[in-house]
């Protein structure tokens, strides 16, 4: 019975460690998504600026 209690405690400790790691991974994913969104917005903004410049210089 004591062995089972120890095993349950070990599992609880491992679960806490895994939960902590998952939380950190979620934070990292949020940062990556934020950076990706910023990059996409920059690229789209640059494309719009290039198109406007082309049109305003009489490209069409």
Taking the model in full, what pTM does it have? 0.62
- The HSE-up count of residue 60 (CA atoms within 13 Å, CB side) is 6
Quote the number of domains for the chain: 1
Query: What does each C-alpha distance from 35 to 13, 38, 47 come to in angstroms?
Result: 33, 5, 18
User: What is the extent of the structural domain holding 8?
Assistant: 1-60
pLDDT digits (tens, 9 = 90+) for 3-57: 999 999 999 999 999 999 999 999 999 999 999 999 999 999 999 999 999 999 9
* The two structure tokens encoding residue 10: 């070990």
Contacts of residue 54, defined as CB under 8 A and 6 or more positions apart, other chains included, come to 60
Determine the number of helices (DSSP H) and then strands (DSSP E) in the chain: 1, 0
Residue 23's pLDDT is what? Answer: 98
């Amino acid at each position: 019975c004591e062995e089972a209690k120890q095993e349950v405690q070990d599992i609880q400790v491992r679960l806490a460690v895994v939960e902590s790691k998952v939380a950190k991974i979620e934070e990292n994913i949020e940062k990556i998504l934020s950076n990706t969104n910023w990059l996409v917005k920059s690229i789209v903004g640059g494309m719009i600026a290039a198109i406007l410049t082309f049109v305003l210089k009489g490209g069409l």
